[in-house]
Copies of this chain bind each other. A is one copy, B any other.
Amino acid sequence: MSKSLELTPVETVACCSPLTREPLTSDAAERIAPLVKAIADPVRLRLLSLVASHADGEACVCDLNDAFELSQPTISHHLKVLHESGLLDREKRGVWVYYRVRAGALADLATLLGGVSA
């Protein structure tokens, strides 16, 4: 299916100017909030951090499951949230699934907050 017509939340945010520059429109806020919600959970923060700091920048779900005392479906659920928000890329290789942090996603979010535009 065509993916070019659907933007992930993180993509719809990359264009926004920093929070402190001008009042956010109601519309912009509604688009940004889901993205922030995606990282507003301790488990997802750790998942993001684990994947980002992992060797080769990617991590297998099997490794991630072991890092938590949570059920496998729960981890799967959190990974889905991160993936659908555009923060994690997903690739299936054989039986395993690997996630990696989408390049620039966190940086865009940081810029939005800090206003430290490049």
Contact = CB atoms under 8 A, between A and B. Distances in A.
Contact of A107 (B24, B50, B114): B114
Interface size class of A (residues with CB under 8 A): 35 or more
A54 to B, nearest CB: 8
Q: Majority SS of interface residues in chain A? A: helix
Interface string A28-45: 011011001101111101
Contact of A116 (B39, B67, B107): B107
Interface of A: 19-24, 26, 29-30, 32-33, 36-37, 39-43, 45-46, 48-50, 52-53, 67, 101, 106-107, 109-111, 113-116
A63 B22 CA distance: 15
A113 to B, nearest CB: 4
